[in-house]
Structure 1
Amino acid sequence: MNAKLEILSPLISAAELRELLRERPPVLLDVRWRLGGPDGAGEYAKGHLPGAAYIDLENDLSGPVTPDSGRHPLPDATDLETTLRHAGVRTDSDVVVYDDWGGMSAARAWWLLRWGGMSAARVLDGGLTSWKAIGGQVTTDVPDPEPGDVVIVPGSMPTVSADEAADLARTGVLLDARAAERYRGETEPVDAVAGHIPRARSAPTTENNTPEGGFRAPDELRRRFAALGVEPSNPVGVYCGSGVTAAHEVLALATAGIAASLYPGSWSEWIRDPARPVETGEG
Structure 2
Amino acid sequence: MDTILTAAALKDRLDGLDGLDGASGTGQRTVLLDVRWALGDPHGHDHYLREHIPGAVFVNLATELAGPADPGRGRHPLPPLEQFQESARRWGINDGDTVIAYDDSGNMAAARLWWMLRNAGFREVYLLDGGLAAWRDAGFEVAAGSEQPAPGNVTLSEAHMPAIDAEQAAAWGRQGLLFDARAAERYRGEIEPVDPRAGHIPGAVSAPTTANLETDGRFLGAAELRARFERLGYQEGVPAAVYCGSGVTAAHEIAALEIAGFSAALYPGSFSEWCHSASNDVVTGPEPYGEDKVSK
Structure 2 residue matching 1:96: 3-state secondary structure: strand
Of 194, 214, 220, the residue aligned with 1:210 is: 214
Aligned to 1:51: 55
CA distance, structure 2, for counterparts of residue 41 and residue 170 of structure 1: 42
Deviation of 1:144 after TM superposition, in Å, equals 2.1
Aligned to 2:152: 148
Q: Which of the two has higher C-alpha Rg?
A: 2
Structure 2 residue matching 1:135: 3-state secondary structure: coil
CA distance, structure 2, for counterparts of residue 201 and residue 141 of structure 1: 43
Of 13, 17, 20, the residue aligned with 2:10 is: 17
Aligned to 1:4: none
Deviation of 1:76 after TM superposition, in Å, equals 1.0
Aligned to 2:255: 251
If asked which structure has higher relative contact order (CA below 8 Å, sep 6+), I would say: 1
Question: Structure 1: any 5+ residue segments left out of the alignment?
Answer: 1-7
Structure 1 residue matching 2:96: 3-state secondary structure: coil
Conserved in 1, the CA contact under 8 Å of 2:106 and 2:218?
yes
CA distance, structure 1, for counterparts of residue 177 and residue 37 of structure 2: 29
Of 184, 188, 195, the residue aligned with 2:188 is: 184
Of 173, 178, 181, the residue aligned with 1:174 is: 178
Deviation of 1:67 after TM superposition, in Å, equals 3.5
Deviation of 1:38 after TM superposition, in Å, equals 5.1
Deviation of 1:141 after TM superposition, in Å, equals 4.0
Deviation of 1:142 after TM superposition, in Å, equals 2.3
Seq. identity, %: 48
CA distance, structure 2, for counterparts of residue 53 and residue 126 of structure 1: 18
CA distance, structure 2, for counterparts of residue 233 and residue 262 of structure 1: 17
Q: Which amino acid aligns with 2:220?
A: R
Deviation of 1:207 after TM superposition, in Å, equals 0.1
RMSD: 0.9
Q: TM-score, with normalisation over the residues of structure 1?
A: 0.96
Deviation of 1:47 after TM superposition, in Å, equals 1.0
1:54-74 per-position Cα deviation (integer Å, ceiling 9, x unaligned): 000000000122241100000
Aligned to 2:204: 200
**What is the number of residues matched between the two proteins?**
276
Question: Structure 2: any 5+ residue segments left out of the alignment?
Answer: 23-29, 288-296
* Superposition map of 1:1-283 within 5 A: 8-23=1-16, 24=20, 25=22, 26-37=30-41, 39-283=43-287
